[in-house]
Amino acid sequence: MNTRIGILTGGGDCPGLNAVIRAVVKTSAKRGWETVGILGGFDGLLTPVRSRPLDYHEMDGLLFVGGTILGTSNKGRFTAKTGHGEVQRVPSDILEEAKANIEALGLRALVVVGGDGSLTIAQQLYETGVPIVGVPKTIDNDLEATATTFGFDSAVACATDALDRLRTTAESHSRVMVLEVMGRYAGWIAVAAGIAGGGDVILIPEIPFEYESICTKIAERSADGRRFTLVVVAEGARERGGDYATVGGDESNREARLGGMGARVAAEIQRRTGQETRVCVLGHLQRGGAPTTFDRLICTRFGTRAVQLVAEERFGCMVAFRPPDMVGVKITEAIGRLRQVPADGEWVLTARSLGISFGDR
Ligand code: F6P
């Protein structure tokens, strides 16, 4: 029988998933291997298995198509993270069922394209005896062991474009415009877009904020003749001593849904300063559309390297970007803890040097 490998996409989608799938299928085909796509994330591995062969020619033109042709899910029977990032063990009967189905499919290995939650599940499958290779995906950029995840650059481009657009309307109306971006426990998108898009205030999970400090910044700008202010808020940002803003009820078998911090911050700014304030929630626009050139390139390199790791039988490993190289690292190195924005790191210092406020002093 021909060598056959499987691939699945797990967790929230993001630009570049199809580019990784394309690279894996094409690289495998060049080796004479077949690739089978598992549909709908990890749950596709459970009986009745949902899978289909992926054809080399089907990959044409996929490089710049958003979403994932395999489908994905960030809930279901394989949940490894709940609440606010609490790790839970996937029940062993679920892992064993998946393992048996992977064997029945005749897969030499399974490539899992996912973020922290999906790679935590992948590690548990690996410990059950499934040959796994990981590829680091998330717009949040919060995985350790890799310089960057794919999807992040595309999300930052989207958020920066939004700030460019909000600036002109803020200026025309002399308003405070608040832009809420994604970023559950790490503020990478907020800081990157805030710097690249000329934000005045950036609020991130890593640096608790105080309204007084934000209002002081707005007053300083007014005193300087600037009647508008751009505030970038990561969805997971919190007031000092405050709580997350969440939407929807708690669902026991998935992570809490964050959202609403932008509206909360906007209302409080308007109440305290009297300046007209509006909020824009960028939401899933950050996760859709074509990947940037940078993401297309690293997705292609991630996918190609993943197939090489399978060939080298380096299971339990994830491809990591260590510029200028793509290397294999243990998945456990990536999922041990979240990679957050260092509060005294170069990005934050760069922003502070420009006069950007983090609402903390
Ligand atoms: O983890 C990626 C992410 O985009 C988070 O920033 C965000 O909180 C979450 O996914 C939203 O997921 P959903 O698709 O369930 O709304």
Mapped to the 3 state alphabet, what secondary structure does 137-167 carry?
Answer: ECCCCCCCCCCCCECHHHHHHHHHHHHHHHH
The answer on 280 and 293 residing in a single domain is: no
Known active-site residue 243: no
Q: Which atom of ligand 1 lies at the shortest distance from residue 287's CA?
A: 4
Same domain flag for 56 and 110: yes
What CA dihedral angle connects 340, 341, 344 and 350, to 10 degrees? Answer: 170
Q: What is the pLDDT of residues 25-67, one digit of tens each?
A: 999 999 999 999 999 999 999 999 999 999 999 999 999 999 9
Is residue 202 situated within a structural domain? Answer: yes
- 308 plus 215 within the same structural domain: no
Ligand 1: which residues within 6 Å by Cβ?
12, 74, 115, 138-140, 182-184, 235, 257-258, 287
Q: Are residues 271 and 124 in the same domain?
A: no
Q: Count Cα neighbours of 52 within 13 Å in the Cβ-side half-sphere.
A: 9
Instruction: Output the pLDDT for position 181.
Output: 98
Residues 32 and 115 reside in one and the same domain: yes
Q: Residue 96's pLDDT is what? A: 98
Question: Is 314 contained in some domain?
Answer: yes
Residues 274, 169 share a domain:
yes
What is the domain-level CATH number for residue 63?
3.40.50.450
Residues 6+ apart with CB under 8 A from 266: 176, 178, 231, 277, 278, 279
In a domain, 358, yes or no: no
Query: What's the first-to-final CA gap in the chain, in angstroms?
Result: 65
Same domain, 196 and 77: no
Same structural domain, 182 and 259: yes
> Could you say which of 140, 142, 153, 295 is catalytic?
140
The residue range of the domain holding 311 is: 4-150+289-333
Q: Which residues of 6-40 are buried (b: 16+ CB within 10 A; e: fewer)?
A: bbbbbbbbbbbbbbbbbbbbbbbbeeebbbbbbbb
Which CATH number belongs to the domain containing residue 251 in this structure? 3.40.50.460
At 258, give phi and psi (nearest 5°): -90, 155
Average pLDDT for runs of 10 along the chain of length 361: 94 97 98 98 98 96 97 93 89 98 98 97 98 98 98 98 98 98 97 98 98 98 97 98 89 87 98 98 98 98 98 98 98 95 98 98 93
253 found inside a domain: yes
> Do 141 and 97 contact (CB within 8 A), yes or no?
no
Pocket test for ligand 1, best of 72, 74, 189, 258 (most atoms within 8 A of CB): 74
Q: Does the predicted TM-score (pTM) go above 0.85?
A: yes
Is 275 a domain residue?
yes
The 277-281 sheet, strands edge to edge: 201-203, 229-234, 176-181, 277-281
Indicate whether 241 and 349 sit together in one domain.
yes
Structurally, the chain folds into a number of domains equal to 2
